[in-house]
Amino acid sequence: MSDQLSNCKITINSVVSIATLYSSVRHCHLTEDIRKTISIKQAEVKDMNLSDDDEAAGSWEGKTETLRQLEEELKGVKVSQKLLNELLPKSQEEAVAKAAGNLSPSTIVTFSG
């Protein structure tokens, strides 16, 4: 019986490890997408060559609008990051539950007296 319990423990640990790995990979892909978006936006800002020189009013207004848009996008990225951080534990729980559901109940414990 000790061997059966040990096998069950190993199986459960394996399922949890696989589920955690699966969730981590998914989270890593999302994080990488966010990093790429931030890098693209950062490159766009550098290409704009924002300066404090006295320039034409239209150009200054354009830069102000661009800055406003970037601030809005930053807010969106922060909200997305918060949401992803909230979803990560839930997806891990779902992955564990799904992996546990895929196991066939092959272990039978019997007691003899």
105 — pLDDT class (breaks 50, 70, 90): low
Per-residue pLDDT averaged across 52-70, rounded?
72
Question: Could you tell me what percent of the chain has a pLDDT over 70?
Answer: 76
Residue matched to tokens 């790429």: 36
Between 7 and 56, the more confident residue is: 7
Question: Which among 15, 35, 18 is positioned nearest to 81, based on CA atoms?
Answer: 35
**What interhelical angle do 57-102 and 2-48 show, nearest 10?**
170
Proportion of the chain above pLDDT 90, given as a percent: 0
C-alpha dist (Å) from residue 15 to 7, 94, 101, 113: 12, 12, 10, 33
Residue 110 tokens, joined: 């019997």
Integer CA distances (angstroms), 1 to 15, 47, 86, 104, in order:
21, 69, 40, 19
pLDDT of residue 109: 56
Specify the pLDDT at position 51. 55
- The pLDDT tens digits of the residues spanning 17-31 come to 888 888 877 777 788
Q: Residue 63: CB partners within 8 Å, gap ≥ 6?
A: 48, 50
Instruction: Give 59 or 31, the one with higher predicted confidence.
Output: 31
Long-range CB pairs of 55-60, under 8 A, 24+ apart, other chains included: none
Sequence ranges of the domains in the chain: 2-46+56-96
